[in-house]
Amino acid sequence: MAPDVLVVQEALRWVNPLTWFTDLARRFGLAHKVGGLCSQGNVVLTASRVSVRAHSFVRYPLAFGHYPRGAVFVRCAVDGAPFLVAGSHLSPEPAMRMRQANVFKEALNKALAEADEPALVGMDVNETSTGSAWQRVAEGLTDAAEATGQADVPTFPTGGAFERIDALFVDPRSAVARYRVVDTPQTRAASDHFPVLAEVDLPTP
């Protein structure tokens, strides 16, 4: 599919969380890679036409019995147009998920206040669009699936998908030209979630 930007969750579940996505980027023909252990398993990979200007990580507060989670933020530019990519994976437990959504949203708002750039957020929210954590993250952003009339297309699980818990949120100044949930034999074999793919037209700088 040759994406310009690829957001991946659960990198830490691979044998070597420090290096596996470097090899993944090479095999996919992608040039830059940010995240992994520093962002609790969230990774952003980009193509060579995308420049990476800065990055930062957020680790969510730890709680006994909960898997460590966090987020990655990457400032990029393509064809002279700057944008901010953020990726995260929220908890399956409702109260913890809401706490994490608040931390993520505060970090995102702070990053956007430092530089007014259109945001692209890729996230396994672990709940549907009716949930409070989803709605918190979506504040002020456009849900790419809703914008293209595909909010009813499920993303999980690949063995019998029945709910949409994976989201792409974009700045309302950006236009979502295309969006789809990628259901192929390869994606069914690769993960228990279907990947989501969007083509986004960034605002002219």
Domain ranges of the chain: 50-201
Model pTM?
0.92
Beta bridge partner(s), residue 120? 85, 170
- Arithmetic mean of pLDDT over the chain: 91
The confidence score (pLDDT) of residue 30 equals: 81
Residue range 90-100: average pLDDT?
96
The confidence score (pLDDT) of residue 139 equals: 98
C-beta of residue 60 within 8 angstroms of C-beta of residue 99: yes
Residue range 57-81: average pLDDT?
91
The confidence score (pLDDT) of residue 64 equals: 78
Whether 170 shows a pLDDT value over 90: the answer reads: yes
The confidence score (pLDDT) of residue 68 equals: 87
Whether 148 shows a pLDDT value over 60: the answer reads: yes
Question: What CATH number was assigned to the domain covering residues 50-201?
Answer: 3.60.10.10
The confidence score (pLDDT) of residue 93 equals: 96
The confidence score (pLDDT) of residue 88 equals: 97
- pLDDT 10s digits, 18-68: 566 677 777 788 887 877 777 787 889 999 999 999 999 999 998 877 888
The confidence score (pLDDT) of residue 32 equals: 78
What is the C-alpha to C-alpha distance for residues 194 and 58, in angstroms, rounded to an integer?
25
Residue range 135-163: average pLDDT?
97
What is the C-alpha to C-alpha distance for residues 171 and 21, in angstroms, rounded to an integer?
27
The confidence score (pLDDT) of residue 15 equals: 55
Cα dihedral 89→95→99→101 (10° resolution): 40
Residue range 84-112: average pLDDT?
97
The confidence score (pLDDT) of residue 33 equals: 81
The confidence score (pLDDT) of residue 13 equals: 55
